[in-house]
Amino acid sequence: MVAERYPDRQDLLDMIPSPDGMDPSIKLPNSLWTTDTCNAASKFQNIACETYEGGLKQDCHNHLRNVWMGGLEIELSSYLTKCLRESLDDIDTSL
Do strands 56-59 and 32-35 pair parallel, antiparallel, or not at all (unpaired)? parallel
Torsion over CA of 84, 88, 90 and 94, rounded to 10 degrees? 170
Count, in order, helices (H) and strands (E) of the chain: 5, 2
Burial of 70 (0-12, 13-18, 19+ CB in 10 A): exposed
Reply yes or no on whether the pLDDT at 37 is more than 90.
no
pLDDT-derived band at 43, boundaries 50, 70, 90: very high
Domain ranges of the chain: 30-87
pLDDT of residue 25: 75
**Separation between Cα atoms, residue 61 and residue 34, nearest integer Å:** 9
